[in-house]
């Protein structure tokens, strides 16, 4: 369980302030551009007329009717007025909760022609519902045109000033919640407001143009290959929002002259709330998630990058490829339990996607999540490698089968670690679009791993990672990290220069613990890994914890954090600490509403505001520390074997 930092409060003055509360910051207040536009009851009335929400209302009515029928059956008579009134109240409560979700988590946004709704590559934390006008989905856009922002670094002067004025008291804050004045300041002022920078960047428009004769996103030919959605009620970006993955396409507003494009944007907390509460909504959204995920994803894979998009979008293709999900979407809740298991039990808990010895009639492409590649060894399984997004399983066997015209069995097994989305591509598609295409085949063959893995537990796994270390990374799911903190314990002198550097750049309190499990001679320290699948984001009631669009860091907006510790409890790696902020005199901020002190969640922010990058790594004098991307195995092996 995450630690709650319990500062010594003896002799401390308390100052009472308004506590930042859940629902304090409805989504509309975090205006994407310009002044915030409030989501009103009238807006909600309008939204409830959309088919998506009509279906929810229908589900509510159906539930009430079912309940009524059940009650009448039990009682053997019609319900009286009182009882009907109670049922009506229940219905109203359900409808009110739907309205509240929309009021808190949705906002209405108008888009100019050609304005970007979502950008490919951005980490999605919200979905859009088309209300009026139309939008165009562009699969390929020149990144320059998208005005990709590189992560902003402050000036050296700024870093110096911060260093000079670093607090002596840990966790000093001048404010603990957002001021109304900030929210209603002009758009320009908001852009300057650093606390809002990330949210603003997330959906900031690049250029607004009046209706042009041609789109700036490409010529007619390019545009003709893109999809246009004209119907209101279309969902956009729900896949990225639900899977917490980067957007797969760019979507721009594309209405006719005299029209307007208006969309409802709902943050993913709202999307989850709707999905968990009403099965009609879940069915709708999951269907689209699967349907749209397929074509969009295929175009980004090494296997099908060269195939025309019409071909990929064709029914033949779509119907032949299956979209499968394995494991548990909320894997973080079973993480501790699974870690306690012995290796055999753990293996049993991982759903088998494809078994060694099975004859493949296709290949698997990992769409999201992680899978374990293993080989049986005596009574157990020896892990050889782990596969992440876009990795293909079974291609060598497929090529061999096609070349020899004899089926070749899988040499390894593929198991789901946590939650995995995979695409199963049948052999005939591989044959037609990959194997028959000389240049693509040659390219893929040159990229293929040498699969001659010795069946010896002492031999290295694929890509040179030692088997024990590999098992350790997989079993503890550290493979989720893009910035995992590894410490070489044979070089680390325990000098704590890293800890001091982190504290001196972060409110005089380090954002990590130089402590954690050790395998071989390497420690995975308790520092946020900025995960591929950041489960800590799930359930934050205010969206205070989020991904920074530009560089994928997972950060916490201190002012909108309500201190509920949902993120800290969700992080399976125990990398979020709750702290008590203090004012300049050292007094703990204390809620006016009750007797509890105000808490804030804190974690490593990868020193996004430091000119030097991660201060911890920069401060280690003994080359003992690295922030490692676990999917970049060659670089990891390079570091491990220095």
Number of Cβ atoms within 10 Å of the Cβ of 243: 20
Shortest Å distance, C-beta 574 to other proteins: 15
Distance, CA of 640 to CA of 340 (rounded, Å): 27
Q: Which stretch binds other proteins (CB under 8 A): 123-131, 493-501, 559-567, 594-602?
A: 493-501
Task: Determine the size of the site formed for other proteins (CB under 8 A).
Answer: 40
Site string for other proteins, 583-622 (x = CB under 8 A): ---------------------------xxx--x-xxxxxx
Our CB check for ligand SF4 shows the closer of 457 and 495 to be 495
Q: Beta 227-229 vs 135-138: how paired, if at all?
A: antiparallel
- Tell whether residue 600 is a contact of ligand SF4 (CB under 6 A): no
Applying CB under 8 A, among 73, 494, 594, 595 the residue interacting with other proteins is 494
Q: What does the buried/exposed string (b/e) look like for 182-195 if buried means 16 or more CB atoms within 10 Å of the residue's CB?
A: ebebeeeebeebee
Quote the DSSP letter at residue 152. Answer: P
- Tell whether residue 163 is a contact of other proteins (CB under 8 A): yes
Contacts (CB under 6 A) with ligand SF4, residues 256-275: none
Per this entry, what is the length of the chain?
642
Shortest Å distance, C-beta 235 to other proteins: 45
Q: Beta 14-17 vs 588-591: how paired, if at all?
A: parallel
- Tell whether residue 512 is a contact of ligand SF4 (CB under 6 A): yes
Cβ(639)–Cβ(493) below 8 Å:
no
- 603 interacts with, out of ligand SF4, other proteins, none, CB within 5 to 8 A per kind: ligand SF4
Site string for ligand SF4, 119-148 (x = CB under 6 A): ------------------------------
Phi then psi dihedrals of residue 300, to 5 deg: -100, 0
Q: Which stretch binds ligand SF4 (CB under 6 A): 26-34, 77-85, 213-221, 601-609?
A: 601-609
Phi then psi dihedrals of residue 310, to 5 deg: -60, -40
Applying CB under 6 A, among 30, 252, 363, 529 the residue interacting with ligand SF4 is 529
- 512 interacts with, out of ligand SF4, other proteins, none, CB within 5 to 8 A per kind: ligand SF4
Tell me the HSE value of 461 on the side-chain side, using a 13 A CA sphere.
25
Q: Which stretch binds ligand SF4 (CB under 6 A): 99-107, 227-235, 571-579, 634-642?
A: 571-579
Quote the DSSP letter at residue 28. Answer: G
Cβ(347)–Cβ(379) below 8 Å:
no
- Tell whether residue 489 is a contact of other proteins (CB under 8 A): yes
Number of Cβ atoms within 10 Å of the Cβ of 354: 22
Token pair in block for residue 440: 């693509």
Which residue(s) pair with 413 in the sheet?
374
Shortest Å distance, C-beta 621 to ligand SF4: 6
In the block, tokens 């988590």 appear at 105
> What residue spans of 48-124 are helical by DSSP H?
51-75, 81-105
- Tell whether residue 497 is a contact of other proteins (CB under 8 A): yes
Applying CB under 6 A, among 127, 492, 579, 588 the residue interacting with ligand SF4 is 492
Token pair in block for residue 64: 């009430």
Q: Which stretch binds ligand SF4 (CB under 6 A): 94-102, 111-119, 447-455, 602-610?
A: 602-610
Which residues of this protein are in contact with other proteins, per CB under 8 A?
Answer: 156, 159-160, 162-163, 489-497, 500-501, 504-505, 514-515, 518, 521, 523, 610-612, 615, 617-624, 635, 638-639, 641-642
């Amino acid at each position: 369980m995450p630690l709650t930092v319990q500062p010594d409060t003896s002799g401390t003055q308390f100052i009472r302030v308004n506590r930042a509360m859940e629902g304090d910051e409805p989504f509309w207040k975090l205006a994407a551009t310009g002044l915030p536009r409030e989501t009103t009851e009238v807006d909600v009335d309008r939204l409830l007329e959309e088919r998506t929400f009509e279906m929810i209302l229908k589900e509510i009515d159906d539930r009430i009717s079912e309940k009524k029928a059940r009650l009448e059956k039990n009682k053997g008579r019609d319900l009286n007025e009182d009882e009907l009134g109670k049922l009506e109240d229940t219905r109203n409560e359900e409808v009110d909760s739907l309205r509240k979700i929309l009021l808190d988590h949705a906002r209405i946004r108008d888009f100019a022609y050609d304005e970007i709704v979502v950008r490919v590559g951005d980490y999605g934390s919200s979905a859009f519902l088309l209300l009026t006008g139309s939008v165009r989905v562009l699969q390929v856009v020149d990144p320059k045109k998208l005005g990709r922002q590189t992560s902003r670094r402050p000036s050296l002067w700024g870093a110096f000033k911060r260093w000079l004025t670093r607090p002596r008291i840990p966790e000093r804050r001048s404010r603990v919640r957002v001021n109304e004045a900030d929210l209603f300041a002009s758009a320009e002022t908001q852009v300057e407001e650093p606390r809002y920078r990330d949210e603003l960047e997330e959906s900031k428009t690049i250029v607004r143009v009046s209706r042009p004769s041609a789109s700036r996103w490409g010529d007619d030919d390019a545009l003709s290959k893109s999809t246009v959605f004209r119907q209101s009620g279309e969902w956009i970006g729900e896949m990225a929002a639900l899977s917490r993955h980067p957007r797969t396409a760019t979507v721009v507003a594309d209405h006719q002259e005299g029209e307007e494009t208006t969309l409802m944007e709902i943050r993913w907390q709202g999307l989850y709330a709707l999905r968990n509460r009403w099965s009609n909504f879940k069915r709708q959204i999951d269907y689209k998630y699967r349907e749209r995920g397929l074509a969009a994803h295929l175009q980004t894979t090494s296997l099908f990058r060269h195939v025309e998009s019409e071909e990929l979008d064709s029914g033949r293709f779509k119907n032949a490829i299956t979209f499968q999900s394995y494991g548990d979407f909320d894997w973080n809740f079973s993480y501790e339990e699974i870690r306690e298991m012995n290796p055999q039990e753990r293996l049993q808990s991982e759903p088998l996607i494809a078994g060694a010895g099975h004859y493949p009639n296709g290949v698997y492409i990992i769409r999201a999540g992680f899978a374990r590649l293993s080989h049986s060894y005596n009574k157990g399984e020896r892990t050889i490698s782990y596969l992440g997004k876009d990795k293909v399983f079974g291609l060598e066997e497929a090529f061999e089968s096609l070349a020899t015209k004899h089926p070749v069995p899988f040499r390894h097994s593929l198991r789901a670690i946590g939650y995995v989305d995979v695409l199963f591509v049948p052999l005939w598609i591989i044959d037609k679009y990959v194997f028959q295409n000389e240049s693509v085949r040659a390219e893929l063959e040159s990229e293929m791993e040498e699969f001659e893995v010795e069946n010896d537990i002492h031999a290295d796994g694929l890509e040179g990672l030692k088997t024990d270390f590999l098992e350790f990374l997989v079993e503890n799911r550290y493979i989720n990290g893009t910035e995992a903190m590894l410490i070489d314990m044979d070089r680390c002198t325990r000098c704590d220069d890293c800890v001091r550097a982190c504290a001196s750049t972060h409110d005089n309190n380090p954002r990590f613990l130089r402590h954690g499990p050790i395998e071989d001679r390497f420690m995975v320290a308790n520092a946020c890994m900025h995960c591929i699948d950041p489960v800590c984001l799930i359930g934050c009631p205010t969206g205070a914890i989020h991904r920074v669009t530009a560089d994928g860091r997972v950060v916490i907006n201190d002012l909108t954090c309500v201190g509920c510790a949902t993120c800290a409890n969700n992080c399976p790696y125990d990398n979020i600490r709750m702290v008590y902020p203090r004012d300049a005199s050292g007094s703990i901020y204390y809620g006016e509403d009750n007797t509890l002190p105000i808490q804030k969640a804190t974690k490593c922010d990868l020193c996004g505001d430091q000119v030097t990058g991660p201060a911890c790594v920069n401060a280690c004098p003994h080359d003992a520390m690295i922030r490692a991307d676990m999917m970049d195995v060659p670089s990891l092996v390079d570091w491990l074997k220095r």
